């Protein structure tokens, strides 16, 4: 899966959005990537959010994949203060990771009115180099030591 080309208008309107895939767990990820057995996964478009310490997914994708929910909710500090939200386990695959998937905890959110299905936070960006060129209206995301 490749990151789509962005023109200046798209980047200005939507920000740095990257395509990926979300899997239920490591077994489903490996089964699909090794072409052993087709397992459920969801293609996603994720906005890079350097201000978020945790990544998030639209609750419709979480429900569609029946992701495993932790008993304790996550508390996130956002617009309007601290919110308790559901915390779920999944595996995120981005093409920059080669053939590896990243086991990840994500929070549930409502992105139905967005051009993306969730956000990539600093929990994923810690394995990446993100470069944003405002005047050039471009961005780059590459995996580092992954």
Which residue, 130, 114, 111, 6, is CA-closest to 59?
Answer: 111
Cα 57 to Cα 116: distance, rounded to the nearest angstrom: 9
| Confidence (pTM) | 0.85
Q: Tell me the pLDDT tens digit for each residue of 60-76.
A: 999 999 999 999 878 87
**b/e sequence 9-21, b meaning 16+ C-beta within 10 Å:** eebeeebbbbbbb
In this predicted model, which residue has the larger pLDDT, 6 or 113? Answer: 113
Residue ranges of the domains in the chain?
8-143
Q: Tell me the pLDDT tens digit for each residue of 21-62.
A: 999 999 999 999 888 777 889 999 999 999 898 999 999 999
Contact (Cβ atoms closer than 8 angstroms) between residue 116 and residue 42: no
pLDDT at 3 over 50: no
Cα 55 from chain centroid?
A: 6
CATH of the domain spanning 8-143, picked from 2.40.70.10, 3.30.300.30, 2.102.10.10, 3.90.1150.10:
2.40.70.10
């Amino acid at each position: 899966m490749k990151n789509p080309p962005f023109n200046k208008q798209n980047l200005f309107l939507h920000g740095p959005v990257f395509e990926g895939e979300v899997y239920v767990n490591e077994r489903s990820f490996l089964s699909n990537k090794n072409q052993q057995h087709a397992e459920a996964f969801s293609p996603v478009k994720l906005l890079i959010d350097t201000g978020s310490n945790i990544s998030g997914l639209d609750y419709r994708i979480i429900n569609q994949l029946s992701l495993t929910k932790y008993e304790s909710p996550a508390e996130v500090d956002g617009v309007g203060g601290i919110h308790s939200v559901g915390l779920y386990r999944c595996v995120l695959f981005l093409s920059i990771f080669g053939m590896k998937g990243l086991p990840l905890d994500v929070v549930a959110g409502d992105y139905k009115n967005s051009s993306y299905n969730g956000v990539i936070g600093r929990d994923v960006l810690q394995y990446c180099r993100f470069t944003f060129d405002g005047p050039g209206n471009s961005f780059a995301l590459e995996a580092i030591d992954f």
